Structure 1
Amino acid sequence: MAESAAAAGQSSSARKSGVPVFVMMPLDTVKTCCGSGLNHRKTMARDLAALKSSGVEGIMVDVWWGVVEGEEPGLYNFEGYMKLVEMARDARLKVQAVMSFHQCGGNVGDTVNIPLPRWVVEDMDKDQDLAYTDQCERRSYEYVSFGCDDMPVLDGRTPIQCYTDFMSAFHDHFAAFLGNTIVVSPTHLIIFLCFLCRHCAGANLPCAGVQEVQVGMGPAGELRYPSYPESEGTWEFPGIGAFQCYDKYLLNSLKMAAEAAGNPDWGLGGPTDAGGYNSRPDDTDFFRQDGGGWDSEYGQFFMSWYSRMLLEHGDRVLSGAASVFGHEPGVHLSVKVAGIHWHYDTESHAPELTAGYYNTRRRDGYLPIARMLGRHGAVLNFTCVEMRDHEQPQDARCMPEGLVRRVASAAREAGVGLAGENALPRYDDAAHDQVVATAQEERMVAFTYLRMGPDLFQPDNWRRFALFVTRMSQAR
């Protein structure tokens, strides 16, 4: 397999231009029981070598909060991740680390269950308003509600302090490996953090083992509310989702915002006519096309507040990340934004609104996000890059291509780099063609392929993938 990949692919060290391709590791790469070992270690070295021979730039791995700091607050175990970094270095692959502060399980593609740290769950059990809450008082344990970001509710620390301490521990644990920086894309000033290793320290060799830090911001690691959870059949595609603002902390914020706006009645809760998780826009008074409440004075107030809470959370977490990594010359941060493409061909864009993206047919909700990322020098990493409009069910009013164009436009206007991912596993030429075309048209700075596993290494899939990597290396 390595020989055929080498013939079809192109060495990343030889690449002078193009869009680098990273490959996501399995969700359970590091053993979830203790965080000290690796699953599938016997085959991993072979698989990483195959990725390298195909021209892949590196791998992406989730560094799970629930694994590393799972048992005791302030007690961190990065041993399994160190072993993975060492294996990647042996294969001369770069490593992107995702600071995953969310639960694994309950979202599209989740094949394992990794809860939040045990002590965090215990605190959430004691005060269930630490969890996102919908209008029916359904609690979500996917991610701590950012209504309490600055409150010492987690064993005496605020959630923001917990995230910052975690990133600081990550930084300190790998401090002995920190070396010089490498500019991957001068056009967008994308800088990666480089670790010195036995392959390149003191030798005139192309550097491997480079690390990017992607900062988790919410469910599935994305900057959004948990508005469309699949767990227990709560939500099914293409439902519009539900607002998540009914914990006491967010309700208190809404109350103060309504009083400041001179309309205290607006602070009692979210819209009461916004339907449920599996409603369609025109099934509701709030999201309907003509005269829907989303476009009323109240609707504009509520959506402005709801989306502002999300932006402020992102700003707080990135500020913490910058305080940890900002003193390192050229540290590169990135943030993932969800590709919510269903019902995009409507006036209200209801699923985006419930997720916190105040984006409608007449309002750009992604430019404020891109500008917030730009203030911290972070790249916008966007999903659903592989999708085409005509592939989607007509009744879902999907427009993934139009959505990608709008997000790319926002990134350009804000002066931030745009990276991409595929939302669903795809091994066909049509999906690869779409990614290559988008990478070229939108000048993407990197692409992450979902995901490494047995299906990828099936002979036909692997042949197409290796050719795809070569085409991305030639994209300009």
Structure 2
Amino acid sequence: MEASVICSSQAKIRKTELAYRELGCFDPKGVSKAFSAKSRVCFSPSTMWRKAGIRFTLRAVQSEAVRSEKVSGPSRMSKSRDGVRLFVGLPLDAVSDCNTVNHARAIAAGLKALKLLGVEGVELPVWWGIVEKEAMRKYEWSGYLALAKMVQDAGLKLHVSLCFHASKQPKIPLPKWVSRIGESDPNIFFTDGAGQHYKECLSLAVDDLPVLDGSTPIQVYHEFCESFKSSFSPFMGSTLTGISMGLGPDGELRYPSHHMLTKSNQIPGVGEFQCYDKNMLGILKQHAEATGNSLWGLGGPHDVPTYDQSPNSNNFFRDNGGSWDSPYGDFFLSWYSNQLISHGNRLLSLAASTFSESAATVCGKIPLMHSWYKTRSHPSELTAGYYNTTTRDGYEVVAEMFARNSCKMILPGMDLSDEHQSHESLSSPEFLLADIKKACRKHGVEVCGQNSSASMAPGGFEQIKKNLLGENIVDLFSYQRMGAYFFSPEHFPSFTGFVRSLNQPELHSDDLPEEEEEAAGSLNVSSEASVHMQAV
């Protein structure tokens, strides 16, 4: 028995070593940037082991391989005791704008490492601006199909995120033909009170208007989904088990209320309402007239702070006597929120009907606007479109909408704790998450979790475990995201410990076994290698 375990473990170690050798990519100065190199991949494995400190990362995976055989045997499950499935996000730019796979060898090696660890699958962002880049109904799926085949060959599951928005980092624009339309008609985009357009996704006010060369955005999204379903039919239900429908900025169901915040501001402002394109104003005007308050339909609130300001910088969001807590405030906030929820319902209904027979679950993502949560008005949530205050539960209707469409809800920020938030921002991600999960539990909506960023919040792994283990409704957790930092010696050993702790909850994720402690002690990365460490 012991001999067979050792042989099996040695085989896994050898496979892991080969996987990590494929991750080596170096320039003349030392460690190169594997996940940044889009057109070339060069190899120098011996340099990788000597200079980059990958020996430490490899040994962490090696010891995990031995331990997994001893603890769980060869058929080790990828779920924790509570049934939470673990996925890892692929790089945002995994497919280039010319439909080739970026960092293909690095990704292939990374997939092997994830499979060895017991991760169930990966999440793949699929960009509208890449697939339908040149012209309406001219789809190019080749790069994404190649990646799906890589995932299938690695024995992993695939969750696809359909992204109908643009990205600044990495730079992934909307389709060229959509941007050309936007140049002549900027009212297809969200607009703030100062007339600034948000050009990274279409305004929800044009969902059913024929603004895209005679077609409505809903029609265009539907045709895109149908093409996706047809092209990926060989993977549906077997490899491809989940589909996230893009619902707005960064794929989330929200208004782009915080897109003009300055990066230098340590305390986030309240954001601004995004209801000033002519189509949104037209809908507001009609609604005001229908309710007998025509003067309320001339625009958004006039007494609001600007993007970077605090709630008390103007009257609208003040705890006591603020306009939010008035008949006009209720009128505007109800209308603003209902427009967002109706938009989410249109898109989730579209996705649910399109993929109903595909055996893939449909998901949608909502934001975690936790800044200023300890005030009465919750201004960051209000500007983002969530009418949630101390006197009103704004997530009940959202959860009900998800339940109506039989969709799962993706919640980010599960690595965030109140302890590490700025006191000045009056933030509470923990209480906000609890409120949203309560609404989901009430309406029978399953939750899929994500962390807030690749760099992880302080104490993030333990906070994720707190949200996942025990009594909860989280079905799947997608760790964001694979890339240079993810596989670095500074991060990957912690991730392996996190995965191990999900499979063996009695172990603390910081409890490294002796072989990993020994490897950690021997880690001595040169300052030059640290500066250039982007590989793996």
Tell whether the structures are fold-level matches, with TM greater than 0.5.
Answer: yes
State the one-letter code of the partner of 1:31. Answer: S
CA shift, 1:5, in A, is 4.2
Q: 1:458 to 1:4 in 2, by over 3 A?
A: farther
Q: 1:231 to 1:286 in 2, by over 3 A?
A: closer
Q: Does residue 6 in structure 1 map to residue 65 in structure 2?
A: yes
Q: Does residue 162 in structure 1 map to residue 225 in structure 2?
A: no
SS at match of 1:60: strand
Q: 1:360 aligns with which of 366, 376, 389?
A: 389
1:293 is matched with: 323
1:68-102 CA distance string (max 9 Å, x none): 00111101111001111111111111111001000
Q: Does residue 346 in structure 1 map to residue 404 in structure 2?
A: no
Structure 2: how far apart are the matches of 1:211 and 1:394? 41
1:33-73 CA distance string (max 9 Å, x none): x22x1111121111110011111111111100000001111
Work out the percentage of aligned pairs sharing the same amino acid. 40
Q: 1:230 to 1:265 in 2, by over 3 A?
A: closer
1:176 is matched with: 234
Q: Does residue 250 in structure 1 map to residue 280 in structure 2?
A: yes
Q: Does residue 24 in structure 1 map to residue 63 in structure 2?
A: no
Q: 1:452 to 1:4 in 2, by over 3 A?
A: farther
Q: Does residue 43 in structure 1 map to residue 43 in structure 2?
A: no
Q: Which runs of 5+ in 1 are unaligned?
A: 106-110, 179-192, 195-208
Query: Which stretch has the larger CA shift, 16-25 or 347-356?
Result: 16-25
Q: 1:40 to 1:222 in 2, by over 3 A?
A: same
SS at match of 1:229: coil
Structure 1: how far apart are the matches of 2:128 and 2:455? 28
SS at match of 2:159: strand
Structure 1: how far apart are the matches of 2:341 and 2:348? 11
Structure 2: how far apart are the matches of 1:231 and 1:58? 34
Q: 1:336 aligns with which of 365, 380, 391?
A: 365
Structure 2: how far apart are the matches of 1:119 and 1:431? 41
State the one-letter code of the partner of 1:25. Answer: L
Aligned pairs for 1:162-241 within 5 A:
162-178=220-236, 193-194=237-238, 209-230=239-260, 237-241=267-271
Structure 1: how far apart are the matches of 2:253 and 2:140? 26
Structure 2: how far apart are the matches of 1:230 and 1:44? 34
Q: 1:93 to 1:468 in 2, by over 3 A?
A: same
SS at match of 2:459: helix
2:161 is matched with: 98
CA shift, 1:459, in A, is 2.7
CA shift, 1:472, in A, is 2.5
1:182 is matched with: none
1:228-264 CA distance string (max 9 Å, x none): 1158869875111000000111111101111111100
2:181 is matched with: 123
Q: Does residue 80 in structure 1 map to residue 138 in structure 2?
A: no
Q: Contact 2:164–2:248 at 8 Å: present in 1 too?
A: yes
Q: Contact 1:335–1:380 at 8 Å: present in 2 too?
A: yes
SS at match of 2:492: helix
1:408-439 CA distance string (max 9 Å, x none): 10110111001111112245782111111111
Q: Does residue 402 in structure 1 map to residue 431 in structure 2?
A: yes
State the one-letter code of the partner of 2:175. Answer: P
Query: Which stretch has the larger CA shift, 218-227 or 433-442?
Result: 433-442
CA shift, 1:14, in A, is 2.4
State the one-letter code of the partner of 1:21. Answer: L
SS at match of 2:491: helix
Q: 1:149 aligns with which of 207, 225, 232?
A: 207
1:190 is matched with: none
1:138 is matched with: 196
Structure 1: how far apart are the matches of 2:283 and 2:181? 21
Query: Which stretch has the larger CA shift, 333-342 or 317-326?
Result: 317-326
Structure 2: how far apart are the matches of 1:25 and 1:250? 35
Structure 2: how far apart are the matches of 1:147 and 1:428? 35
Q: Contact 1:222–1:336 at 8 Å: present in 2 too?
A: yes
Q: Which runs of 5+ in 2 are unaligned?
A: 1-57, 507-536
SS at match of 1:226: coil
Give the aligned length.
440
1:93-112 CA distance string (max 9 Å, x none): 1111001000111xxxxx31
Structure 2: how far apart are the matches of 1:15 and 1:220? 28
Q: Does residue 459 in structure 1 map to residue 489 in structure 2?
A: yes
2:479 is matched with: 449
Q: Does residue 59 in structure 1 map to residue 122 in structure 2?
A: yes
SS at match of 1:276: coil
Structure 1: how far apart are the matches of 2:378 and 2:291? 25
Q: Does residue 71 in structure 1 map to residue 131 in structure 2?
A: no
Supply the RMSD in Å over aligned alpha carbons.
Answer: 2.0
Q: Does residue 392 in structure 1 map to residue 421 in structure 2?
A: yes
Q: 1:315 to 1:13 in 2, by over 3 A?
A: farther
Q: 1:402 to 1:19 in 2, by over 3 A?
A: same
Q: 1:235 to 1:318 in 2, by over 3 A?
A: farther
Q: Contact 1:235–1:277 at 8 Å: present in 2 too?
A: no
Q: Does residue 266 in structure 1 map to residue 296 in structure 2?
A: yes
Q: Contact 1:333–1:378 at 8 Å: present in 2 too?
A: yes
Structure 2: how far apart are the matches of 1:82 and 1:12? 29
Q: Contact 1:342–1:397 at 8 Å: present in 2 too?
A: yes
1:326-356 CA distance string (max 9 Å, x none): 133x431001111111111100000110000
CA shift, 1:8, in A, is 5.9
Structure 2: how far apart are the matches of 1:332 and 1:8? 33
Q: Contact 1:55–1:466 at 8 Å: present in 2 too?
A: no
State the one-letter code of the partner of 2:88. Answer: V
Q: 1:25 to 1:12 in 2, by over 3 A?
A: farther
SS at match of 2:474: coil
1:262-294 CA distance string (max 9 Å, x none): 100010000011111011011120001101001
SS at match of 1:176: coil
Q: Contact 1:384–1:422 at 8 Å: present in 2 too?
A: yes
Q: Does residue 425 in structure 1 map to residue 454 in structure 2?
A: yes
1:100-153 CA distance string (max 9 Å, x none): 000111xxxxx3111110111111111111010001000011110010110111
SS at match of 1:467: helix
Q: Contact 2:167–2:200 at 8 Å: present in 1 too?
A: yes
Between Structure 1 and Structure 2, whose CA radius of gyration is higher? 2
Q: Contact 2:123–2:158 at 8 Å: present in 1 too?
A: yes
State the one-letter code of the partner of 1:3. Answer: Q
SS at match of 2:485: coil
State the one-letter code of the partner of 1:294. Answer: W
